[in-house]
Amino acid sequence: MFESAELGHKIKKSAYDKEVPDLREALLDIQMELAKSGAFQVIILLGGLDGSGRGATANLLNEWMDPRHIQTHGMGEPSDEELDRPMMWRFWRALPPKGKIGIFLGSWYTWPILNRVKGITKDSDLNQSLERAVQLEKMLVDEGALVLKFWFHLSKEKQEKRFKELEKSSLAYGTTIKQDKKLLKEYDAFQAVHEKVIRYTSTAEAPWLVVEGVDARYRNLTVGKVILKAIQDRLRLENAPPPRILAPPLMPPIDNLHLLKTLDMTQEIDKQDYKVELEKLQGRLNDLTRDPKFKYMSVIAVFEGNDAAGKGGSIRRITGALDARSYQVIPIAAPTEEERAQPYLWRFWRHLPRKGRVTIFDRSWYGRVLVERVEGFCSEADWMRAYGEINEFEAQMARHRILVIKFWLTITKDEQLRRFEERQQIGFKRFKITDEDWRNREKWEQYEQAVCDMVDRTSTLNAPWTLVEANSKNFARVKILKTLCERVEGKLKELGAQGLDYLDPPKKSR
Q: Look at residue 122 in the predicted model and tell me its pLDDT.
A: 95
For residue range 175-232, list pLDDT tens digits in order: 454 555 566 678 888 889 999 999 999 999 999 999 998 889 999 999 999 999 999 9
- Going by their DSSP bridges, the two strands 208-212 and 101-105 should be labelled as unpaired
Burial of 477 (0-12, 13-18, 19+ CB in 10 A): buried
Q: Give residue 431's pLDDT.
A: 64
Q: What is the pLDDT of residue 73?
A: 95
Q: Is the dihedral of CA 392, 488, 283, 274 positive or negative?
A: positive
Query: What pLDDT does residue 297 have?
Result: 96
- Residue 428's pLDDT is 59
Burial of residue 246, with CB atoms counted within 10 A of its CB: 0-12 exposed, 13-18 middle, 19 or more buried: exposed
Residue 151, classed as helix, strand or coil, is: strand
Contact 38, 69 (CB under 8 A): no
Predicted pLDDT at 160: 67
Q: Work out the angle between the directed axes of helices 271-289 and 311-319 (0-180°, nearest 10).
A: 50
d(CA 104, CA 54): 10
C-alpha 295: how far from its chain's center? 23
Does residue 416 sit in helix, strand or coil?
A: helix
Low-confidence residues in the chain, pLDDT < 50: 172-175, 177, 253-255, 506-510
3 state DSSP class of 103: strand
Q: Record the pTM.
A: 0.88
Pairing of strands 327-331, 146-153: unpaired
Q: Is the Cβ–Cβ distance between 103 and 58 less than 8 Å?
A: yes
